[in-house]
Amino acid sequence: MKYITASAVFFSLIAPAISEDKPLLAIPGNVVLDAKLDSSPGDPWRAAKGKWEPVDGALKGSELPEDHHGAVLRATKTLGDCIVEVEVMLDGARSTTLSMNAVKDHMARVVVTPKMITIQRDDNDHEGPDKSIVFHRVAADLQPGVWHKVRMELVGDTMLGKVNDIVGWGSSELFTQPKANPGVTVAGQSIRFRNFKIWEATRNPAWDTVKETIKNEVMPVATPKGKGKAKANGKGKAKKAAAKE
């Protein structure tokens, strides 16, 4: 006779709540926001920069040259531990991010380009001594015209990022602060978004075991010519551009 443990029943019940993915860092709880993104942005969305328009059941974001800044769309929410998920379709843009702010300044992001995925803690003070920390950066091959699922989990002092089957994680005291204004950015022309969802979250009791199966890598990135000094002293255009989004 087979015996089914209470934990097995529990995980089988919660799995469909997050698109049938197995729990990693976080266990999803109450749904905070469930947005199909099939219409022009309204409450709780704030389109700070760029052009945002509904196209074929999704929301298309494009950078405007006159903004001198990537397109930005954020949900005006203050959160505790949470899971944030969105589907993206590359439509010509250089990159997109799923990001979370602290109450003041940036906190964390998952950066998606056609050829690279980066999961990082953000610089939290722009021109001060704080610096971003890359936890996981790997080569990717994300095709245009295909939907890709991007997820961020923030529980306690730990974040986890996931793009399709690519997963990375890291820890920082910054993540214990209240979270604010989750959203997406677009650099270039353009990205489509749909099914933006936020859950309250608690730590997966099996996380200590799960994390041992996730091996972070940090692929080196070539520094463009003329950018070395800006990156080294932290006061040049390279750092300012990264802080804007």
The band of 54, judged by pLDDT with boundaries at 50, 70 and 90, is: very high
* Exposed e or buried b per residue across 107-129, where buried means at least 16 C-beta atoms within 10 angstroms of its C-beta: bbbbbbbeebbbbbbbbbeeeee
Give the span between the Cα atoms of 205 and 210, in whole angstroms: 10
Q: Is the pLDDT of residue 74 over 90?
A: yes
Q: What is the pLDDT of residue 245?
A: 53
Q: Is the pLDDT of residue 67 over 70?
A: yes
Domains assigned to the chain: 25-222 (2.60.120.560)
Q: How many CB atoms lie within 10 A of CB 102?
A: 17
Q: What is the pLDDT of residue 176?
A: 97
% residues pLDDT > 90 (the chain): 77
Q: What is the pLDDT of residue 232?
A: 39
The band of 103, judged by pLDDT with boundaries at 50, 70 and 90, is: confident
Give the span between the Cα atoms of 138 and 32, in whole angstroms: 31
- pLDDT for 24-49, tens place per residue? 999 999 999 999 999 999 999 999 89
**194 strand-pairing partners:** 87
Q: What is the pLDDT of residue 18?
A: 40
Average pLDDT score over the chain: 87
**99 strand-pairing partners:** 109, 183
* Exposed e or buried b per residue across 41-60, where buried means at least 16 C-beta atoms within 10 angstroms of its C-beta: beeebebebbebeeeeebbb
Q: Is the pLDDT of residue 145 over 90?
A: yes
% residues pLDDT > 70 (the chain): 82
DSSP 196-234: EEEEEEEE-TTHHHHGGG----B---PPPTT-HHHHHHS
